Amino acid sequence: MIEIKNLTKVYRTPTQEVLALDDVSLSINKGEIFGIIGLSGAGKSTLIRCINMLEKPTSGSILVGGQNITSLSKHELRFARQKIGMIFQHFNLLSSRTVFDNVLFPLEIARKPSQEARKKVESLLELVGLADKAKVFPDQLSGGQKQRVGIARALANDPQILLSDEATSALDPQTTRSILKLLKDINRQLDITILLITHDMNVIKQVCDRVAVIDNSRIVEVGDVLTMFSNPGTSTSRSFISAVMKNELPEDLANFQTDLDHQHSCVVRVSFIGPSAGEPIISSMLRKFDITSNILFGNIDRVKDTPFGNLILELIGDAAILAQAMDYLRSKGLEIEVLKND
Ligand SMILES: Nc1ncnc2c1ncn2[C@@H]1O[C@H](COP(=O)(O)OP(=O)(O)O)[C@@H](O)[C@H]1O
Ligand SMILES: [Mg+2]
């Protein structure tokens, strides 16, 4: 749906040149919710602004639905932009217009016949749960309601793609959850591809199918969200994940030592994803191998709609048997990381 190839963006100011995007290539599939996470200044907004052509790339190409949008005429661009909706951190509503007229605005610009346009606005306000706020002005709305207006407005011209630039960053966690749920519903019901950028791994965790990590103007990692959570490939993704998952070995357990009595001990983190979170794999391992186990830590979380569990176990026994037991767990599809091995 979106094909970004070797995209580079350099900002030239009178005093300096800033390389904001450095050879970025990404492929975003139709119908998915794709997240891009990075620290402030990493280049996220620049990337999203290149996709809707608010910024002109320095080099590289961006194909949307097979059309190279970097080489469109002004006239063609106007139509291409209608197929891309955008929502913003600070909502960007027109304060002098009612909720209804804010959502109507893009339809006026597209010169939609008035009656058809008014019908569309009504159905969009229904969709975002604001049918009763049509005549209200933005300053009478909560942050979450303002973002719902922003979403309705972004959907006015039936876009194929919805871009979101930190759309929940100004909202509290509970409101964030309800807006993310709305985005998930829209993605499913209307089959719209959603690209969202954020600095918050919680957002990625709650709604995204795939994620790219951007660090210092470059994409350093791309993958399925569940895979990244169970097996982050870079220190950047590891630090984002540890901010939202309690999966570090708690400090008081790091120096934990069982009286070994000539046996071997190792501490492992076992990650469970999806259906295996409900299976008694650990107990069958303990039955199969002559080892004992101490549960040091455990929790179950959700990544998008999938259960994701973490267990930290101390395993005690003969070194060779411990290795076999870990191979057994891996063969059952569990992710195993050895945290300590004495
Ligand atoms: N209009 C601009 N002129 C010059 N530098 C810019 C401009 N916009 C962004 N930058 C710089 O480009 C880099 C990436 O910025 P941005 O894309 O806004 O990052 P993010 O959205 O990840 O915080 C930063 O170093 C920023 O200072
Ligand atoms: Mg930004």
Same-domain status, 214 and 325: no
Ligand 1 atom with the smallest distance to the CA of 55 is 1
What is the pLDDT confidence band of residue 326, given thresholds at 50, 70 and 90? very high
For a pLDDT cut of 70, what percent of the chain falls above it? 94
**46 Cα to the center of ligand 2, angstroms:** 7
Same-domain status, 23 and 51: yes
The residues with which 21 forms a beta bridge, in sequence order, are 9
- Which residue's CA is the nearest one to ligand 1's atom 1? 11
Compute the average pLDDT of residues 136-156: 97
Compute the average pLDDT of residues 190-206: 95
Same-domain status, 178 and 255: no
- Which residue's CA is the nearest one to ligand 1's atom 18? 45
Task: Give the DSSP letter of residue 96.
Answer: T
Residue that has been written with the tokens 């016949």 in this structure = 113
Q: Is the dihedral of CA 43, 45, 51, 53 positive or negative?
A: negative
Ligand 1 atom with the smallest distance to the CA of 39 is 22
The residues with which 337 forms a beta bridge, in sequence order, are 269
**43 Cα to the center of ligand 1, angstroms:** 6
- Which residue's CA is the nearest one to ligand 1's atom 14? 43
Same-domain status, 266 and 231: no
Which ligand is nearest the CA of 166, by number?
2
- Which residue's CA is the nearest one to ligand 1's atom 12? 20
Same-domain status, 195 and 312: no
Among the candidates 244, 265, 295, a domain finishes at: 244
CA distance 182 to 152: 11
> What domain range includes position 26?
2-244
**21 Cα to the center of ligand 2, angstroms:** 13
Burial letters 113-122, b for 16+ CB under 10 A, else e:
eeeebeebbe
Which ligand is nearest the CA of 42, by number?
1
Same-domain status, 219 and 337: no
What is the pLDDT confidence band of residue 312, given thresholds at 50, 70 and 90? confident
Same-domain status, 144 and 281: no
Compute the average pLDDT of residues 130-144: 97
Same-domain status, 299 and 188: no
pLDDT at position 132 is 97
**173 Cα to the center of ligand 1, angstroms:** 26
The full 3-state SS of 263-307, as one line of letters, equals CEEEEEEEEEEHHHHHCCHHHHHHHHCCCEEEEEEEEEEEECCEE
Same-domain status, 170 and 270: no
Q: Which of 8, 13, 17, 18 is the pocket-test mutation for ligand 1 (most atoms within 8 Å of CB)?
A: 18
What is the pLDDT confidence band of residue 89, given thresholds at 50, 70 and 90? very high
Supply the CATH number for residue 65's domain: 3.40.50.300
pLDDT over 60 at 278, yes or no: no
* pTM of structure: 0.86
Compute the average pLDDT of residues 55-77: 91
What is the pLDDT confidence band of residue 280, given thresholds at 50, 70 and 90? confident
Contact of 39 with 199, CB cutoff 8 Å: yes
Ligand 1: residues whose CB is within 6 Å?
11, 13, 18, 20, 38, 40-46
Number of domains in the chain: 2
Compute the average pLDDT of residues 32-39: 96
Compute the average pLDDT of residues 275-297: 83
**11 Cα to the center of ligand 1, angstroms:** 8
Rounded to the nearest integer, the mean pLDDT of the chain is 91
**20 Cα to the center of ligand 1, angstroms:** 6
Compute the average pLDDT of residues 47-55: 92
Q: Is residue 63 packed enough to be buried (19+ CB in 10 Å), middle (13-18) or exposed (0-12)?
A: middle
Among the candidates 244, 273, 295, a domain finishes at: 244
Within 10 angstroms of residue 256's Cβ, the number of other Cβ atoms is: 15
pLDDT over 90 at 80, yes or no: no
What is the pLDDT confidence band of residue 175, given thresholds at 50, 70 and 90? very high
pLDDT at position 273 is 78
CA distance 262 to 339: 20
pLDDT over 70 at 247, yes or no: no
User: Across the chain, which distance is largest between two alpha carbons, in Å?
Assistant: 84
CA distance 193 to 64: 11
Supply the CATH number for residue 288's domain: 3.30.70.260
Q: What are phi and psi of 122, to 5 degrees?
A: -60, -45
What is the pLDDT confidence band of residue 337, given thresholds at 50, 70 and 90? confident
